[in-house]
Amino acid sequence: MKAENHKMSNVLVTGATGFIGRALCAKLLAEGAQTRAAVWREEPAGSIQAGLDVVPIDSIGPDTDWNRALAGIDAVIHLAARVHVMDEKAEEPLAAYRRVNVAGTERLARMAAANGVKRLIFMSSVKVHGEETPVRYTEHDIPAPLDPYGVSKLEAEDILRKIAAKTGLEVVVIRPPLVYGPGVKANFYKLMGIVARGLPLPFGSVNNARSLIYLGNLIDAVILCSRHPSAAGQTFLISDGENVSTPELIRRIAAALGKPARLFPFPPEIMRFAGKLTGRASAVDRLLGSLAVDDSKIRKELGWKPPFTMTEGLKETAEWYDRVKKMP
């Protein structure tokens, strides 16, 4: 749905050189939006897209000076965060997450309100709900994050709502599940590599349901949330609109790559036990467990519909993967 009224023409994107940020900035520039990017001061010049109004920052935390970045801005899309990692090395992980994701977000929001910014879109995560559910999560479910990253995102959401109530800043919270697309890293990229090499995977008997969202669909929804009048003050779960089991996802990835899906059945209980022994319990649980969302709210209230199917998204991702692997 196109929301022409309440259109934001001057946009600040934090995390502009990241996986989501690069795609978002490219889309905003293509649509003619005046797009400013807050990037790390040490960011290599070659990683910054042409056409962006770049404002360097040293760090994100409780003391960040956002005044220059916020001058003349209508909407802030806050993507920058201390992201979830599999092998956390910080001595006090929650404190490290809170400094960036909570205190840093609070600082940005307060300064945005003081600078006359109309709206702030906050990229949260489905992890505020938890890690596994037998039914689809909705925005009405009581959040129950299980790790420091999820806790920090939920705390940031709560602070943003308080700032909105006091200042009139319009806050929109988006909680995506796993995001895939060109440029994807971490476990999804590793899974693509395993499938591309034709290695057998022991998930043939897994019967779960997982929600995902293609990068292009997420970007479309973010831009809509930055412009639609009815998005103000709302929280949205979002997905591609179809849930898949782990073996079905592997089959679809294989088809997109033009490879056979090599799956064999193996007892999930033994895989979970092996995951605990090897310190990979959370990774195994995500492959075996269900985590699905109900995104009917954003569809009904904003008229949003994903512009890409999962099949199309996986095809684009596979084509990017092939290009990357062919590079010298």
Active site residues: 149
Q: Which residues are within 8 A (CB) of 2 and not within 5 positions of it... i.e. 6 or more apart?
A: none
**186-196 helix and 310-326 helix, angle to the nearest 10 degrees:** 80
Return the structure tokens found at 251. 């089959």
Edge-to-edge strand list for the sheet holding 53-57? 53-57, 34-40, 10-14, 75-78, 119-123, 170-175, 235-237
CA distance 150 to 101: 10
Contact 246, 307 (CB under 8 A): no
Q: Report the length, in residues, of the chain.
A: 328
Cα–Cα distance list, 287 to 24, 52, 127, 191 (Å): 28, 38, 15, 11
* Coil, strand or helix at 90: coil
